[in-house]
Structure formats: C-alpha cells, structure tokens
C-alpha cells in the first residue's frame, strides 16, 4: 500500500511534484516515487546515527547570528 506525500516550502510555494511513498514491513526502508512523467525513485534506509556525529562539537557558524 502506498500513500501520497505533498508539501510546501517555507515561502509557501508548493513542491513541484507529489510523491507516493511506501514503508517496508519491518519499517526500516522507505521508498518514494515522484509523480512525474519519468518517475524518480528514492530509497531511504533507517540506520543509527554514528557516535562521532552525535558527539561532534557544535560549529559556531551554525548558531543564530553566525560569526561575530
């Protein structure tokens, strides 16, 4: 069974296309297919976030206001 996905950008402009998406039975894989003349298929697989990423120091430029 697939479900439709659509959305809007922060500006309020709608996405160029909608997508059909489907989750695998075990919930570890999501397949998205664009609603375009030539369908684009994207497959996403759930995985743990590596500790090196989770524990990375915060980058100052990512804070509100950026550099001083």
Looking at residue 68, its pLDDT comes to: 53
Would you say 3 and 20 are in contact if contact means Cβ atoms under 8 Å apart? yes
Helices within the chain (DSSP H only): 51-54
- pLDDT tens string 24-43: 999 999 999 999 999 999 99
- pLDDT tens string 4-22: 999 999 999 999 999 999 9
Rounded CA separation 33/20 (Å): 5
């Amino acid at each position: 069974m697939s479900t439709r996905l659509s959305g809007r950008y922060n500006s309020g402009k709608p996405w160029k296309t909608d997508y059909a998406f489907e989750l695998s039975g075990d919930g570890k894989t999501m397949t998205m297919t664009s609603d375009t003349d030539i369908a684009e298929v994207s497959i996403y697989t759930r995985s743990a976030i590596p500790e090196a990423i989770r524990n990375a120091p915060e980058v100052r430029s990512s804070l509100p206001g950026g550099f001083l």
